[in-house]
Amino acid sequence: MPKSKPRKKAAAKKKQARRTEHETNLLFGNTPTFTSDEGEALLTARGWISERSQPGGALDGDAWYWMPSQLPAYLEEGEPVPTSVYPLETGFVSQLATPDGSVPPEAQTEYASLEELEADLDRLEAYRVPEGSWTVLGGGPGQDETPGELIDTIAEEWELVAELIHFPYSDEQGPRSFDTVEQARSEGRLSEYAYRSVLAGRGLPVPDSGAAEA
């Protein structure tokens, strides 16, 4: 089996699949983490991926990710993150997608209420990192790489999701078709959380939690 291309990593490598650099207690200092059932209902209904659907649930407070804004992981540097929303004690905060995990002040917006957040969701969902501000190494996956290979070799779940969102799938059945992702999910080689994230990122229908567990 051909090996995947080496991926250039950021200096601070994640120790787990969760986006620990984006947990609210790290982002905003040693503050408490928060949950919001109202935010969960609003955002998941619009197709945002919830931290609650991670294995073990939202261990470090709620967070929601807009997966269509997720960049591929074959980047020159940094660890790309999608546009995200987090609850705060006094409302919510959004952070626009970036190619390297940084959150410049202009990419962050705070909202005093759920209504303010809802009024800004169209803008958040439309945002994409401008082309030219990031580079895909080697043009992405090679012609000999397959989704199945990526699933079996990429240990970092966030990186795997990013690659599967952007993989140039074949329209015909075969090892480079999206059918291989479906098969990996049915065989337990791809987590339900990763599968739902990939569907959301590719603009495909995402089954509700009950359907996913059935």
Higher-confidence position of 14 and 37 = 37
pLDDT in tens, 182-198: 999 999 999 999 999 99
Bridge pairing between strands 108-111 and 49-50: unpaired
Contact 67, 201 (CB under 8 A): yes
Q: Can you give the length of the chain in residues?
A: 214
- pTM for the full model? 0.81
Long-range contacts of 185-191 (CB under 8 A, 24+ apart): 189/151, 189/152, 190/151, 190/160, 191/55, 191/157
> Phi, psi at residue 116, to the nearest 5°?
-65, -40
What value does the mean pLDDT take over residues 21-39?
64
Place of tokens 């397959």: 146
Half-sphere exposure of 13 (CA within 13 A, CB side): 8
Contact 79, 158 (CB under 8 A): yes
Whether the pLDDT of residue 11 is over 50: the answer is no
Three-state secondary-structure class, residue 133 = coil
| Percent of the chain clearing pLDDT 70 (strictly above) | 81
- pLDDT number for residue 7: 32
- pLDDT number for residue 161: 95
